[in-house]
Amino acid sequence: MFTNELSFHQIVGRVATVPELKETKTGKKVLNFVLAYDSMHLTDNSGSHTSFLDISAWEKTAEIFEPLLFKGLQVMVNGEITQRRWIDNEGKKRHTFQMSADTIQITDPKFKPVFKEAA
């Protein structure tokens, strides 16, 4: 059995929500958005299914990509996927998966960055 198992993933998809930059109570910046990506399902006649994953990018990555990302943009995200569990207000057990992005790469061939001039 491995004692230091790490699981890193690379997912290519499209930004499905307007990215939102926030600051935590401790002053760390975090950029949150949802990534839509196609996943293969052997039981599905079409061969694919769109899945959605919550993405969080932190600190410098959040600052760099906040002005660049927009809904519909194709990106590649690398990072660790973790599961979060909780009990909702009705007492039901809930869970979700989320990715903490180590790197983000814009892969959309139509992307043309727009830089704002300093005032």
CA separation for the pair 114, 68 (Å, rounded): 8
Task: State whether residue 114 is helix, strand or coil.
Answer: coil
Domains of the chain from N-terminus onward = 8-106 (2.40.50.140)
- Answering whether pTM is above 0.85, one says no
Mean pLDDT value of segment 92-119: 84
* Spatial CA neighbour of 86 closest among 95, 78, 77: 95
pLDDT of residue 62: 96
Mean pLDDT value of segment 85-105: 94
Is pLDDT at 43 greater than 80 in this prediction?
no
Q: Whole-number mean pLDDT of the chain? A: 88
Spell out the SS3 assignment of 17-65: CCCEEEECCCCCEEEEEEEEEEECCCCCCCCCEEEEEEEEEEHHHHHHH
